[in-house]
Amino acid sequence: MFPRSERQMPPPAAAADWSGVHQDILSRIFLSLACIGDRVRFSAVNQQWRGVALQNPPPLPWLLMPSTAGTSCHR
């Protein structure tokens, strides 16, 4: 067994660059998010994504029928 300092460590994975995603695609993704928490996290990615979120305000909430009140977008 080699000491820790002599082991070959793999290079760190490069982070994906999400800043180049086209605004139309981001808008479609944002509008498909039903959960307010997911929309908040979407807007926190970077300034471009926040701009998309601000340009697409959520619609007014629907009134829920008692049979659908138990559904949730929580994970």
- Look up the pTM and report it: 0.59
| Per-residue model confidence (pLDDT) at position 66 | 64
| Per-residue model confidence (pLDDT) at position 34 | 86
Long-range contacts of 69-73 (CB under 8 A, 24+ apart): 73/34, 73/35, 73/37, 73/38
Give per-10-residue mean pLDDT for the chain (75 aa).
Answer: 64 73 94 91 93 86 62 59
